[in-house]
Structure 1
Amino acid sequence: MHSPQNGSAARRIIHVDMDAFFASVEQRDNPELKGQPVAVGRSRARGVVAAASYEARPFGVRSAMPSITALRKCPDLIFVPPRFDVYRSVSGQIRDIFARHTELIEPLSLDEAYLDVTAACTGDVTATAIAMDIRAAILEETGLTASAGVSYNKFLAKLASDQDKPDGLTVITPRRGAAFVASLPVGRFNGVGPVTEEKMRRLGITTGADLRAQPLAFLAEHFGSSAERLYDISRGIDDRPVNPNRERKSVGAECTFLEDLRDPAEAKAALGPIADKVALRCREKGVAGRTVTLKVKYADFEQITRRRTLSSAIEEADDMCEVAGELLQGLVPLKKGVRLLGVSLSGFDAPEPESEDQPDLFDF
C-alpha cells in the first residue's frame, strides 16, 4: 500500500482524450456527415463498430458493439469504412503538439495519451494552462476537439478527462482528489469492468466512498491481487509514472456466452466477431503480432489456452480467426460446453509507439 505523494513531489499529469476520434475525423472530412449518427466500421453481419459519433451515442451505440446490434438500436445509423492511415496521420499531428510541452508522453492508443508536464510547470506556467494550449492547438491544426484531465496522478487525470466530454477540461487538485473519487460510481474507475462492478454491487459497494470504507483485508478476501490498487485509488492514490517507453505485451478480446456452446461449428463461428474486435484494437494501437492465443473456458469454469507463433506478424481479423479456428479444432470433440472464448495477439515486432487532505502547494 502506498502513501500519497507530498505536495513538493506531486506530479502534474495531463490525460488527453480525443472526442469520438475516428467518427469526428470522418465528419470533419465529409460535411454531409456532420450532425448525423455515424459509426466507423462495417455494416456487414460480422462487422464491429470501431467508433460512434456523439449523435449515435444516445441510441446506445458504442465502440466494439456488433454492427447488427448497432443498426437495431439506431436504424438511421450511417456506416463509414475505417481509414486507419488517416487516423494515424492525425494522431501523429497530435503527438507533435504534445511534444512541444514534454518528452514524457505515454500513448494509450491513437486517440489518447498521458503527459507528465511537471518539468514544464515553472514560474507562471501551470499544467492547466498547458492543457488549454494543447486543446487549442489541436482544434486549430486538426479541426478536432479534445477533452483533457489535469491532476497529480494518472488515475485521477483519466477520470477528469471523462468528466466533461466532449470538448471539456477538468482539474482535480490534491486537496480535491479523495473527495472526487468518493463521489463517483465505481463503474467509472479504470480497471473496474462490468464483472467486477457487479461483484462490488453485490457486496454493497457502489461508490468510491463505499470502496474506501472497506479495510484492506476485506478487499484482499474478495478481490485478491487487485486489493491494494483498489484500496489506493479509493483514496485518490496512484504512484504509477508516465512511461514513454511502455511496451504493449498483448491485445485481446473475449466473449462469455448466454448459453454454453457445444457444437464445434458454432464455437468456430463465434470466433469471428472476437477476432474482429482484436483486429480493431490492433489497428487503433498500430501494432501487429506473431503469436495468436486461444482461450477457452468450459461450463465448469475449467480454463485452457492454446497458442501458435507464426513466421510473420499479422493484424487482420481473418488471419487471426483462421489460426484460432485451427487451435480450436485441436480441442474437438468438445468434452463439455464452452462458456467463454477469447482471442489475443502478442509477439509484437515493435513497441507501441499523500495525506487525505493534501494542501494545494502548487498551482494546477
Structure 2
Amino acid sequence: MRSLQWKDNLLGAVQVPLSPIVYMVIPGLNPEGYYLLSKLLCLCPERRITAFDALQHPYFTNYHIFSGKGSIQGTPSKAYMGQAMDSKKPVIVKIFDRIKLNEGISSAVIREIAFLKEMDHENIVSVIDVVFTGMKIHLVMEAADMNLRQFIDEHPKGVSDRHVRKNLLYQLLKGLDYCHSQKIIHRDLRPESLMINRDPLTLKISDFGTARDFQVPVKALTIIDRAKCVLYMPPEILYGKWRYTASVDMWAAGCIFAEIARGKPLFQIGSNDYHMTSDIYQMQKILSVLGTPNEDLWPGVCEVFHNINSIKLIPSMDLHELVPCLDPEEMDLLKQMICLNPSGRIMAADALKLSYFDDLRAA
C-alpha cells in the first residue's frame, strides 16, 4: 500500500517544473531545451520521454514553434507560427508527420518541397529551411500576417477599394504566370493557400502539395484533394476529365477575384460551411450562373459532358447581379477567367498585359 502511495506522489511530482538550480548549472539552454531536459529527467519511468520521441522534439531544429497557433486544417500537415532562434525573425513551420516506416515520405510532401525550393519569385512563398526530426519533416517558410481567407473574413461585404482588389489579383497573376512558365500547375488555388502581408500589401502563393509538372502526364485529383477546393474547380475537373491544362488555375483565380469583391464564394451553393459540397451540386451551381454550354460556345463539350444534351438549357445570369462592385473593365476580365471553355480562358501572361494593370506595371 505504501509503495502505491509513493508512486502516486511521484506521478504528481512530474508536473513540478525544473529546479532553479538546473537553470544555474546549465544556463545556456533555450526554453525548448529546458523543456526537453525536464522530459528526460522525469522521475517516473513511465512518463520519461523515449529516444524516438526526443528526436522529434523542436529542440533539434533552429526554430521555436508556438504550439497551437495557426494550424492549417484540411491538409496532410499542420502549420504553426514560429521564430528563428538566431535571427528572431518570425517564420511559418509546416510539419509533415506522415512518414511511415515501411512507405517512406509521401509523394505530396516531396513535390511540395521540391517545387518550392526550385522556384524563386516575389509572389511565391520562400522556403528558408527543411529539417528532418525523427519521423517528421519541418518545412520552414517565410512568415505572413494571414491568409486570404482571413483577409476576406475581415471584409464580409467584399473589398470595396478597387486598387486593393486590383493589387491582389495582379500579384496572384504574376505568381501564376511564373508557375506556368516553369511548367507547373498549382491545382489547389483557394483563399487558404494564398498568404497575405499587410504593409506593404503583398500576396504569395503557397501549398504546392497537389501541384504537377504539366510536362508529365497529369493524373486526376484524388477525392481527398478535390474535397479541399471544389468551390474553385473548373467544369472539366468536376466532370472527371483527367487531361487538362494550366487554365484550371485561371478558373480558380477568377473565382478568388470574385470572392474578394463580394465577400463570399462566387459559386457557393448555400450559406452553410463552404467546404461541404459535392461535384454534382457544384456543377449545377456553375451552370445556373454561366448557363448550359453547347458545341458553338465550347467545341468538344459533348466529349467532356456525355449527358450534356439531356441537361435542361439554362440561360446565363448577369454577373453584375452577383458582383455589383466590379466596373466594366474588371467584369470583362472576370468573364475571361471563368470561361466555361478551357481553351477560351485568358492565361496569366495575357491578363497581365491588359490596360487594367497599366498603373501597377508602371509602379
Band of TM-score, shorter chain: under 0.3
Q: TM-score, normalised by structure 2?
A: 0.24
Higher relative contact order (CA 8 A, sep 6+): 1
Larger Rg: 2
Q: TM-score, normalised by structure 1?
A: 0.24
Q: Which has the higher strand share?
A: 1
